[in-house]
Amino acid sequence: MAAAPGKSCGACTMCCSALEIAHFSKPAGPLCANCRLGGGCTIYAERPAVCRDFECEWLTSRDLLKIAQLYLDGGEWEGKLIVSEAWVHTSTRPHARIDEATEYGYLWWLKSFKSGEKSYPAFFMSGNGGNKVVAIPALDMTIVITSTNYNARGMHEQTEKILTDYVLATVE
């Protein structure tokens, strides 16, 4: 399968965690021992076939909303189980404390977002530039905020302000 135009292996590391890699006795979920966060695969030229065959996606905001909704729905999409409910539960639960307000599951950050007097526990993806894919179970709400503030100071704070001051402020 040919790579998408302009696509190259980079820092996302999705393939380093999503794949089961029998060659390394690595289950799906945890990061591969050959993964360098922010830098990708350290054995890229010699990676196993399962890694070579993996074709990551360039996802649109709509695609990202669907992923968040899939997780809100316990791994089901249009009545079909896509991701096991056990994995959804495990991956959206805390496995590491980052700071007083933030924890990390498997591929999901965990935090409550406050708007006005209300606080909304959420799980979310967060990317360079301040991009966010947020799922708020109590509201059955998914939110995608895209931004191009790559490597900029305050990029995540800016999108969190959009989320709390503008999006969540509209929730009754």
Domains of the chain: 14-53 (no CATH), 61-170 (3.40.710.10)
pTM: 0.68
8 A C-beta contact, residue 136 and residue 120: yes
Q: Give CA torsion, residues 154, 159, 161, 165, to 10 deg.
A: 170
d(CA 10, CA 36) in angstroms, rounded, equals 10
Tokens standing for 52? 């070579």
State residue 130's pLDDT score.
85
Average pLDDT, the chain: 87
Q: Which amino acid is present at 128?
A: N
Q: How far apart are CA 81 and CA 38, in angstroms?
A: 32
| pLDDT number for residue 5 | 47
| pLDDT tens sequence across 67-88 | 999 999 999 999 999 999 999 9
Token pair listed for 27 = 């289950």
| Average pLDDT value for residue range 89-116 | 96
> Which region among 10-14, 43-47, 99-103, 149-153 has the lowest average model confidence (pLDDT)?
10-14
Q: Which of 95, 116, 115 is nearest to 106 (CA)?
A: 95
Strands 102-104 and 80-81: unpaired
pLDDT top residue among 171 and 129: 171
